[in-house]
């Protein structure tokens, strides 16, 4: 499953090094897509006139207008038949303001409203061996490809659940070598015993290695030069207590993986792939994509993918044909503590909107 590339003509006049108000199209009709649409000073009208190739039969010819005042977006519904939604809620009085990164739905078309530099990488999404790679992960994936041609140790850094082990195992598979996996929170035996005859070992949670495991790792590095170490960590190695000698031995150029809340370009494709594998007969409703983009998923891919599978199985057992946003558990992907959701600005906007008294029509 591939997402479409941005029309380069749209971005021709946009300096890639400067932050630009962008309406990033991530879903159209019933499938993922990807287009970066700059919002000019006069505003951007969203609708079939702008997106003539859309498969969304609920998108009006001129559906909504976006303007940017240098700090926030103003979203105005242009009398559309099916309405405009912000963070899953319909616009009250057909207008609202939101700060980046807000999720906007017009019909069955979904945008993430940002104020970012246009990525200087291919603006498309591809699937490589189970890894979904869009502009956000492009550099990490390219560095992994480069590492596959150079036998050296490598560390993947990212929050819990960002896919570090998935990347490490993909790299090991690409190398075509016998691979072992060691997790200090799971394995009770020594690191060297897990390795066996393998020539590549994925060492998860490197900062949690005890003294005995660190000694075994030093011994492997000193006596078995054919061994390749692929390590994972939730933070820079020095910050999680890895001794300087091991940091120097493992190299100082880790690959950083972004958290899911920053990978809005890739999330719709991940969602579509996961549901196609779990329950291929289900049709994905745009509100599920909207709900998924609006949640912070503090456990990242681990929580996101497992909750999608649970949701899909439940919907299929009920005999439904569509899987919608309200089928997703209200607790799935919610933030109890930690970094803010991408929807902080929009949620505050909706709270303010709901406080306003309704006018009589």
| DSSP codes joined into one string, 297-346 | -TTHHHHHHHHHHHHHHHHHHTT-SEE-GGGS-TTTT--SSSSPPTTHHH
User: Model confidence over 306-341: pLDDT tens digits?
Assistant: 999 999 999 999 999 999 999 999 999 986 644 444
Give the contacts of 330 (CB within 8 A, at least 6 positions apart).
Answer: none
The label of the residue with tokens 């951007």 reads 44
Same fold, 20-122+341-355 and 135-256: no
- Strand ranges, E, within 184-290: 200-203, 228-233, 255-256, 283-284
Binned at pLDDT 50, 70 and 90, residue 15 comes out as low
Q: Where are the domains of the chain?
A: 20-122+341-355, 135-256
| Rounded-to-integer distance, Cα 230 and Cα 343, Å | 35
Cross-strand bridge partners of residue 200: 179, 228
Best CA proximity match to 115, nearest among 69, 77, 47: 69
Best CA proximity match to 74, nearest among 93, 51, 49: 93
Is residue 110 within 8 Å of 293, Cβ to Cβ? yes
Is residue 46 within 8 Å of 65, Cβ to Cβ? yes
Binned at pLDDT 50, 70 and 90, residue 361 comes out as very low
Give the contacts of 106 (CB within 8 A, at least 6 positions apart).
Answer: 46, 47, 59, 60, 63, 64, 80, 82, 84, 85
| Rounded-to-integer distance, Cα 123 and Cα 114, Å | 15
Binned at pLDDT 50, 70 and 90, residue 1 comes out as very low
Q: State the chain's mean pLDDT as an integer.
A: 88
For residue 91 the two structure tokens come to 């616009």
Is there a cis peptide before residue 101, judged by omega within 30 degrees of 0? yes
The label of the residue with tokens 């749209």 reads 10
- Distance set, CA 58 to CA 9, 63, 66, 82, 109 (Å): 26, 10, 18, 6, 8
- Is the pLDDT at 131 greater than 80? The verdict is yes
Q: What pLDDT is recorded for position 266?
A: 98
| Rounded-to-integer distance, Cα 304 and Cα 296, Å | 10
User: Model confidence over 19-40: pLDDT tens digits?
Assistant: 999 999 999 999 999 999 999 9
- Is the pLDDT at 241 greater than 60? The verdict is yes
| Rounded-to-integer distance, Cα 3 and Cα 207, Å | 37
Q: pTM for the complete prediction?
A: 0.86
User: Model confidence over 48-96: pLDDT tens digits?
Assistant: 999 999 999 999 999 999 999 999 999 999 999 999 999 999 998 899 9
Best CA proximity match to 209, nearest among 155, 168, 151: 155
For residue 40 the two structure tokens come to 């000019």
Q: Under CATH, what is the fold of the domain 135-256?
A: Rossmann fold (3.40.50)
Cross-strand bridge partners of residue 98: 73
CATH 3.40.50.2300 assigned to domain 20-122+341-355? The reply is: no
Is residue 10 within 8 Å of 20, Cβ to Cβ? no
């Amino acid at each position: 499953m591939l997402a479409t590339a941005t029309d380069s003509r749209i971005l021709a006049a946009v300096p890639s090094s400067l932050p630009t108000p962008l309406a990033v199209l991530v879903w159209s009709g019933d499938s993922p897509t990807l287009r970066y649409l700059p919002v000019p000073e006069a505003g951007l009208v969203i609708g079939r006139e702008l997106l003539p190739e859309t498969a969304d039969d609920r998108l009006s010819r001129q559906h909504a207008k976006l303007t940017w005042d240098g700090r926030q977006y103003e979203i105005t519904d242009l009398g559309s038949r099916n309405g405009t939604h912000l963070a899953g809620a319909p616009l009250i009085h057909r207008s609202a303001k939101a700060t980046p990164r807000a999720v906007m739905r017009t019909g069955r078309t979904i945008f993430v409203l940002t104020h970012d530099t246009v990525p200087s990488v291919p603006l498309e999404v591809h699937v490589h061996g189970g890894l979904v790679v869009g502009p956000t992960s492009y550099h990490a994936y390219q560095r992994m490809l480069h590492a596959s041609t150079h036998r050296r140790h490598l560390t993947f850094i990212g929050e819990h659940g960002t896919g570090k082990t998935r990347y490490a195992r993909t790299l090991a598979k690409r190398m075509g070598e016998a691979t072992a996996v060691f997790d200090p929170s799971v394995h009770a035996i020594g690191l060297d015993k897990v390795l066996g005859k393998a020539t590549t070992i994925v060492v998860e949670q490197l900062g949690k290695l005890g003294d005995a495991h660190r000694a075994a790792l030093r011994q492997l590095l000193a006596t078995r030069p054919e061994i390749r170490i692929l390590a994972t960590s939730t933070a820079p190695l020095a910050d999680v207590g890895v001794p300087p000698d091991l940091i120097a031995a493992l190299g100082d150029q880790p690959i950083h993986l972004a958290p899911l809340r920053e990978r809005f370009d890739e999330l719709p494709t991940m969602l579509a792939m996961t549901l196609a594998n779990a329950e291929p007969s289900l049709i994905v409703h745009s509100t599920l994509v909207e709900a998924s983009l609006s949640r912070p998923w503090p456990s990242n891919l681990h929580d996101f993918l497992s909750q999608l599978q649970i949701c899909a199985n439940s919907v299929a057992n009920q005999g439904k044909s569509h899987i919608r946003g309200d089928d997703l558990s209200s607790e799935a992907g919610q933030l109890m503590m930690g970094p803010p959701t991408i929807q902080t600005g929009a949620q505050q906007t909706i709270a303010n909107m709901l406080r306003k008294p309704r006018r009589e029509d």
